[in-house]
Structure 1
Amino acid sequence: MILIFGASAFVSWRLRSKFNEYSQIGLSNGLSGAEVAQRMLNENGIYDVRVVSVEGMLTDNYNPQEKTVNLSADVYYGRSVASAAVAAHECGHAVQHQKAYAPLKLRSAMVPVLTFSSRYMQWILLGGILLLRTTPLPLAVGVGLFALTTFFSFITLPVEFDASRRALAWIQTRGIVNEREYGFAKDALWWAAMTYVVAALGSLATLLYYASILMGGRRSN
């Protein structure tokens, strides 16, 4: 767990460092992140998705319910390699939605269940540990709920990697970036993807920890 925590902290720091670095490298064609996003949507025949600016840093996301590509101000207004890469990546999710990309459909279908379970999961796990000597059932329920969370984390991986693949292919073939800028964009998106990998591994490690408590309690009973 300590190794996972350390890796998470390192990857988060590295991502911010890379974003700050590539935010200082101007895009040769001068397009802003918002312009890159709008062009990618239009060229993929997507006209019902809005590109909007949101508060925060690295808060960029695609909302399939509201059909919005939400870009942080630095990305929306920025005219850098980082802005282009992030904007195209989020539009990659919109393209996935349009094409009914299976992992995205599964991930979206799980959101309501996870939203509900996340309200009670930690309390169920805590209660399960306290009641383990009496009955393993509450902890078993908690572990089951946590397993769903872990599965969600791993389903997120192909969704994120595929969005980056679509983004990089588009910005390269459409001449949004030159060869040098493409390398920077690829590096930035790789570090962004690593945050999801570390999160998934952290969730798995935590799941195994709770599962070991459950199995140990069952043996002692």
Structure 2
Amino acid sequence: MTYYWIVGITFFFSVIISKILKNKFRIYSELYLHNHMSGKEIAEKMLTDNGIYDVIVISVDGELTDHYNPMNKTVNLSDRVYHEKTAAAAAVAAHECGHVLQHKLGYNMLKLRNQLVPILNFSSKFTNIVLMSGLAIFYSSGGKNAFLLKLGIGLFSLAVIFSFITLPIEFDASRRALNWLKTKNIVSYQEYNTAKDSLKWASMTYVVSALGSLAQLIYFMSIFTDKKDD
């Protein structure tokens, strides 16, 4: 029951944050930039200002689907961000270019996350099966057979570590974006605050996800430790 409470609470806060974020973007989408630059133009300028000429800015379908793909060197902006000339669009576009800068400069946390990706992709295929099987065997054996449960917890902990490594990467990309927007006078004072607020709420989605996964890990670990104490 505790597990479902954790998942439910995490899901609840994720929905709330998502709604707030979408509402913020809806409101901020009505506030147009004084320089009339689109998200695409913002991204292209930030790239060229930092001497990056081999990354292409393209439009992709969906909402909040913006991301940087280092494999084919593309900054992928959702259709709305790509075309709109607002501070919110500028913030998202610059944030994704912040990831490009991290890649170019060899940002250590990004390197670490990239090294974990193949491992996580492999382990994620088995994590749920191993955890559920481990729990079943653990309880049926009266807590005597905990090997599979320990393995499942170990696999799940990789996902938790990955989610927490992602946090400083996202915060750093936002910092780089806001710093560039401010120093290059791309946005006014009011537009800067709007961009900052947009990125703050966007980062909250990662925070909620990381804390939710940590809470689940603690729960799984408590099952083993509580049974061991008995």
The TM tier, using the shorter chain, reads over 0.9
Letter in 2 for 1:65: M
Cα distance in 1 for partners of 2:171, 2:122 equals 27
- SS of the aligned residue for 1:175 comes to coil
TM norm structure 2 = 0.92
Superposition pairs for residues 102-113 of structure 1, below 5 Å?
102-113=108-119
Q: Which residue of 2 aligns with 1:137?
A: 147
Contact 1:61 1:70 in 2 (8 A): yes
Q: Which residue of 2 aligns with 1:215?
A: 225
Q: Which residue of 2 aligns with 1:66?
A: 72
TM norm structure 1 = 0.96
Correspondence 1:23 to 2:29: yes
Letter in 2 for 1:51: V
Cα distance in 2 for partners of 1:56, 1:108 equals 25
- SS of the aligned residue for 1:45 comes to coil
Correspondence 1:188 to 2:172: no
Correspondence 1:115 to 2:121: yes
Cα distance in 1 for partners of 2:133, 2:24 equals 42
Report which stretch shifted further, 158-167 or 65-74. Answer: 65-74
Contact 1:143 1:211 in 2 (8 A): yes
Cα distance in 2 for partners of 1:76, 1:126 equals 43
Contact 1:57 1:72 in 2 (8 A): yes
- SS of the aligned residue for 2:75 comes to strand
Summarize deviations over 1:42-89 as a string: whole Å, max 9, x none.
111111111111110000011122211110000111111111000000
- SS of the aligned residue for 1:131 comes to helix
5+ residue gaps, structure 1: none
Question: Which of 61, 79, 83 matches 2:85?
Answer: 79
Cα distance in 2 for partners of 1:53, 1:95 equals 20
Contact 1:40 1:91 in 2 (8 A): yes
Contact 1:59 1:72 in 2 (8 A): yes
Summarize deviations over 1:112-144 as a string: whole Å, max 9, x none.
111111111111111011111432111111100
Cα distance in 2 for partners of 1:95, 1:142 equals 36
What is the root-mean-square deviation of aligned Cα atoms in Å? 1.2
Report which stretch shifted further, 6-15 or 96-105. Answer: 6-15
5+ residue gaps, structure 2: 1-5
Cα distance in 2 for partners of 1:25, 1:113 equals 43
Identity score, percent: 52
Question: Which of 10, 13, 19 matches 1:7?
Answer: 13
Q: Which residue of 1 aligns with 2:187?
A: 177
**Displacement of 1:92 after TM fit?**
0.2
Summarize deviations over 1:72-112 as a string: whole Å, max 9, x none.
00011111111100000000000011010101111111111
- SS of the aligned residue for 1:161 comes to helix
Contact 1:40 1:170 in 2 (8 A): yes
